[in-house]
Amino acid sequence: MSEKIVISPTSRQEGHAELVMDVDDEGIVTKGRYFSITPVRGLEKIVTGKVPETAPVIVQRICGVCPIPHTLASVEAIDDSLGIEIPKAARQLRELTLAAHTVNSHAIHHFLIAADFVPENLMATAINSVSEIRKTVQYVVDMVAGEGIHPSDVRIGGMASNISELARKRLYARTKALIPKVDAHIDLIVGLVADKDLPAGLGVTNAPTLATHHTYGDRTKFDLDRFTEIMPETWYDDPEVGKRACSTIPLYDGRNVEVGPRARAAVFGGYSGEGVVAQHVARAMEMKTNMSKIVDILGELDTSAPVMADYDVTGTNKLGIGAIEGPRGMDVHMAQIADGKTQFYSCLVPTTWNIPTMGPATEGFHHEFGPHVIRAYDPCLSCATHVIVVDDDDRSVLKNEMVRI
């Protein structure tokens, strides 16, 4: 006899979501459905009709966990719409900001999964490592981008200012000294994940991977013509789930895809690992890659170089694309600027891509492993909702149940 197991909300992730699993007599998941129940976002509508400089400031508030990717995706989209080529040093500072944020975000994830993998006698060691790593890389974001949470110095056309030579030297010395700590932390987490002895094949899906760059992002690798978006009622076979789900379903070439650390490792590094363990390993290895990138950029940055391009804010009505590889995956913002105002704005945020993939990833194993599968993707639902149904003629809300938890 089939039974339905419901976990609501799923725990130790950002935002609210629900996991509904059909299980057989042995408790094995035969159908997994994962969906956001976080209320409507709507920030794209707030920036429409305003001057372009408004958008990065507003949309970075989409999420308190991922403000850096949203800021960068926003300025990249507007740069593209306005035809701006930013200076080399500005690009380095943007990449430096994202690399530091990625290390910080992955460390936060290790805190969230600690209860799954870290034994009591090692808990203090793991948490202290997370704290020390975060303190240093957040300092990098503070110094380079203006603020650790909402970066004020990432601007359309580049950056507000270059860092001083003294700041560069201090950041270089401090981040280089952190590398042995990061390496030891990664060895600890990867070892503990392996010791958990999770079932082989847990979390493996047939969803293709999608990534634009191994660390930063590349709008030329995202083909808008291959992207479609459907309403949740069309995707989920359970009408009640489709009615309650708060995010649309993004598809690439007509399929749900996987984004994030494992996808980037597979696309750009030939990584062949799959499933829950591979997600954790790829995320940990990405911390190493980004620490090296931080040190490399700080070692070669010309602090006397210009960081702001000249540009005309009038715009040509081109649809600009900003594709940033955030910690949880590809974050795409689209901006259309004309007559000095934002005419259109839309976001395709990382977890939205993974939502339709995470549910099926629970299938074939006991339902008790379901939370392990979900947490392996490090979902962040704070930004993944943007569904509200209104009447095209009078703008009245047709389905307000989507905005209730």
The answer to whether 44 is a known ligand-binding residue is yes
The answer to whether 383 is a known ligand-binding residue is yes
The answer to whether 66 is a known ligand-binding residue is yes
Q: What is the dihedral of CA 184, 185, 190, 191, to 10 degrees?
A: 60
Task: Tell me the three state secondary structure of residue 200.
Answer: coil
> Which token pair is 37?
């129940």
State how far the Cα of 284 lies from the Cα of 17, in Å rounded to an integer.
25
Rg of the chain taking only CA atoms, in angstroms: 21
> Are 247 and 380 spatial neighbours (Cβ–Cβ below 8 Å)?
no
DSSP codes of every residue in 282-317: HHHHHHHHHHHHHHHHHHH--TTS--B----TT---
- The residue with tokens 């540009």 is 311
State how far the Cα of 331 lies from the Cα of 323, in Å rounded to an integer.
6
Helix axis angle, 67-82 to 120-145, nearest 10°: 30
The answer to whether 347 is a known ligand-binding residue is no
Residue 22: strand pairing partners: 4, 31
| The Cα angle at residue 112 between residues 136 and 328, in degrees rounded to 5 | 75
Other C-beta atoms closer than 10 Å to the C-beta of 119 total 10
Helix axis angle, 88-117 to 165-195, nearest 10°: 30
Binding-site positions for Fe cation read: 66, 383
Binding-site positions read: 44, 63, 66, 380, 383, 386
Binding-site positions for Ni(2+) read: 63, 66, 380
Binding-site positions for Mg(2+) read: 44, 386
